[in-house]
Amino acid sequence: MSKEQAQTVSAVDSARPAPHIDLGHFAPYLVANLNHHFQDLLARSLDTFGLTIAEWRTLVCLTRAEKATIDDIVRFTRLPQSSISRTVGKLRERRLIRRRDSPRDRRAREIRLSAAGARAVNQANRTVTIAAKAELERLLGGDSERWIEAMRTMLKRIENREFIDL
C-alpha cells in the first residue's frame, strides 16, 4: 500500500465511529477500578495513624534500607520527585524520619527512619496488611493467593521487559 493510500485509509478510519468497547471485559479499566478501591481502603486504614499513602510508602521504603536518598525513594514508590520531596519534608517535621548531608555527595541527603517513624510504620503495616487481606478474602474467597501470585508474575515480566513493547 502506498503512503497516499495509507493516509486515505487512515482518514476514513478516523471518520468512523469508534468500535464499542465492553469496559466490563477491558483489563486496564478493571485494574484501574480495583486500584481505586484498594487505594481508598489504604487511605482509610492509614488515616488512623495520621499518614497518607505517600508518607506510608516512603516509610516502607526506609524500612527496607538503613538509609535512602530522594531518588531511591522515588524509584521505590514510583511517585513523582516533587511529591516525595514534600512528603519527606512533612515526615521530617513530624520527626518520623531524619535527614543529613551525604558524606559521599554534598548534593545528596541521606534519609533514615527515626525510632518514632519505625513504630508508626510497623503499626500501620499491621493494620493495612489485615485490612487488605480481609478485603481480598471477601472479594475472592479462598483464591487470593493465586490472584496475588498472578499479579506478581505480571509485574516481574514488566520489570524484566519480558513483554511485547508496542
Q: What is the pLDDT of residue 165?
A: 38
Q: What is the pLDDT of residue 7?
A: 58
CA 2 to chain centre: 45
Contact 63, 118 (CB under 8 A): yes
End-to-end CA distance of the chain: 22
Q: What is the pLDDT of residue 6?
A: 55
- C-alpha span between 15 and 95 (Å, rounded): 58
Q: What is the pLDDT of residue 103?
A: 74
- Which CATH number does the domain 24-159 belong to among 1.10.1740.10, 1.10.10.10, 3.90.480.20, 3.50.30.30? 1.10.10.10
Q: What is the pLDDT of residue 160?
A: 78
Contact 56, 68 (CB under 8 A): no
- C-alpha span between 22 and 10 (Å, rounded): 24
Q: What is the pLDDT of residue 159?
A: 79
Q: What is the pLDDT of residue 121?
A: 97
Query: Sign of the C-alpha dihedral, residues 41, 43, 47, 50?
Result: positive
Q: What is the pLDDT of residue 164?
A: 42
pLDDT in tens, the chain (166 residues): 566 655 555 555 566 767 788 889 999 999 999 999 999 999 999 999 999 999 999 999 999 988 899 999 999 998 999 999 999 999 999 999 998 877 777 777 889 999 999 999 999 999 999 999 999 999 988 778 888 898 889 888 887 754 443 3
Q: What is the pLDDT of residue 66?
A: 84
